[in-house]
Amino acid sequence: MLDIKQLTEKQVFLLDGAMGTELFRAGLPPGHCPEAWNEERPEAVVGIHLSYFEAGSRAILTNSFGGNALKLAGYGLESRTYELNLKAAQLARSVCPEDGYVGGSIGPTGKFLRPVGDLTEDRMLKAFRPQIEGLADGGVDFLLIETQYDLKEALLALRAAREACTLPVFVTMTFNLTRRGYYTMMGVSPEAFIRAMEENAVEAFGANCTLGPAEMAGLIKILRTLSNRPLVAQANAGQPRVGPDNLTYYELGPEEYARHVPGLIEAGARVIGGCCGTSPEHIKKISEKIVGFFDRIK
């Protein structure tokens, strides 16, 4: 069983970068279900996984971010939840080197629980359950419940995970930097987040998406004062821009992004990866920064 505490002892556990933008780069048409490609274009998905391992990722995340039953229902694929996640895990596993790991990606449902929305807790729990079973049966080493903004939803996904398997679970929430500090869209503070994570003995937790690496380091510093567990940081490559060719890109290139990585580690991040706009090239540059980082500061 993956022991994240040990794997982050005086070292960084390097995750992968973005999956979505890589899928689009590989030709996924906008509006097409990304998880459907696990069956339709497995070679494309595997190619992305492989490129991240080759770039230096210690662990990669399955192509299952939108693989809960509620999100798949948007494509009429909810009855295939288990199979699409099983396949996602098997694809990642198939190219995982001996010393590598596979994490099962679990994103938000995109729906709100009552009273903000009309979803019951039971329906949300049932949306995550077949996803987690598929990922676990497909052989992932851990689960990453990511990009969460509602603490209740994150905890329901966690409950579904604890009920379905014994895999270690990581949780990341997405924070904005507001005038009053870091909060998620639903108003979850770093303190409330960490309290819930500690209470539920989540193996590793932290933040992803929206923030660039510099703002992310500020947030991780706060989280570090609240917890001693391994902290996860997956920042965006800055903000999206539109180029003269009419294609969108993110402002921070691999080199610029990697320059922030020592700051992230010093702030307390031990599980590091990329989010929107990061590519295998970003991971390669990050990987060069973290090699020997702890030897240098000793």
Partner 1 sequence: MKPELNKHLQDLSQAIIQGLVDEAGPLAEKALTEELPPLQVIEQACVPAIEEVGRLWEAGDYFLPELIAGAEAMKAAMAVLQEALKSSGQSLKSAGRVVIGTVEGDIHDIGKNLVASMLRASGFEVIDLGADVKVEKFVEVAASEEADIIALSALLTTTMLNQKKVVELLVSRGLKDKFTVMVGGAPVTEKFAREIGADGYGESAVQAVSVARKLMARRGGNHD
Interface positions with partner 1 (CB under 8 A): 20-21, 24, 29-31, 74-75, 110, 112, 115-116, 178-180, 183-187, 210, 239-240, 242, 246, 248-250, 276-277
Our CB check for partner 1 shows the closer of 29 and 296 to be 29
Burial of 121 (0-12, 13-18, 19+ CB in 10 A): middle
Our CB check for partner 1 shows the closer of 152 and 162 to be 152
How far does Cα 228 stand from its chain's mean position? 20
Rounded least distance, CB 248 to partner 1, Å: 4
Rounded least distance, CB 185 to partner 1, Å: 5
Rounded least distance, CB 66 to partner 1, Å: 9
Rounded least distance, CB 252 to partner 1, Å: 14
Q: Which helix (H) or strand (E) holds 143?
A: strand 142-148
* Cβ atoms within 10 Å of 76's Cβ, excluding its own: 9
Distance from C-alpha of 296 to C-alpha of 21, rounded to nearest angstrom: 34
Question: Given 3-state DSSP classes, what are the helix, strand and coil percentages for the chain, each rounded to the nearest 5?
Answer: 45, 20, 35
Rounded (5°) CA angle 103-108-113: 145
Rounded least distance, CB 243 to partner 1, Å: 11
Our CB check for partner 1 shows the closer of 29 and 199 to be 29
Our CB check for partner 1 shows the closer of 104 and 277 to be 277
Distances (CA, A) of 149 to 24, 100, 141, 161, 220: 25, 29, 24, 18, 17
Our CB check for partner 1 shows the closer of 66 and 268 to be 66
